[in-house]
Amino acid sequence: MKRHSAAGILLAATTVVASATGAAAATAPVKVELWNKADGSQGMTLSTDHAKAGKVAFEVKNSSTSMVHEFLIWKTDLAFDKFPKDPDNPAKVDEDKLKGVEELSSDLDPGKSGSLTMDLKPGRYVVFCNQPGHFDAGMHLAFTVTK
């Protein structure tokens, strides 16, 4: 008959509990920084460019001191330069043509933050700002959701 030490049993039990709780733990939120610089450049920075399918939380901060920004996400394989332009305002993407586009509940004034949680399926997404001229200025990134 094998004898198991108390330390060995405790280690095994701790490993099982850690594995079980790790599997159930939520994915860390994706931190999004929307920014612009004095030289006129604009952009966004993500803490990661991918996540596993399921609930994904985006914590968005407008780090600008002078510009309003917004945060939208759309599942698409479309290249950035193929996004449809708004006929009434060609400096914006035509959101009405983006089936399934989601966005933060409101635009973000300078220094403000917001969050958006979505149930995402595997695929390629684009996150972007659609204030006039901002998409064309580079405020868009690809985001991948894996199985």
Question: Which three-class secondary structure state does DSSP give residue 23?
Answer: helix
The Cα 18–Cα 63 span in angstroms is 37
- 67, 58, 59: which is closest to 108 by C-alpha? 67
CB 134 within 8 A of CB 127: no
The Cα 119–Cα 103 span in angstroms is 13
Average the pLDDT over each of 12-16, 43-47, 87-91 and give the range with the smallest value.
Answer: 12-16
Q: Is a pLDDT exceeding 80 seen at residue 10? A: no
- 93, 49, 101, 52: which is closest to 72 by C-alpha? 101
Q: How confident is the model at residue 26 (pLDDT cuts 50, 70, 90)?
A: low
Q: Is a pLDDT exceeding 90 seen at residue 5? A: no
The Cα 94–Cα 87 span in angstroms is 7
Q: How confident is the model at residue 27 (pLDDT cuts 50, 70, 90)?
A: confident
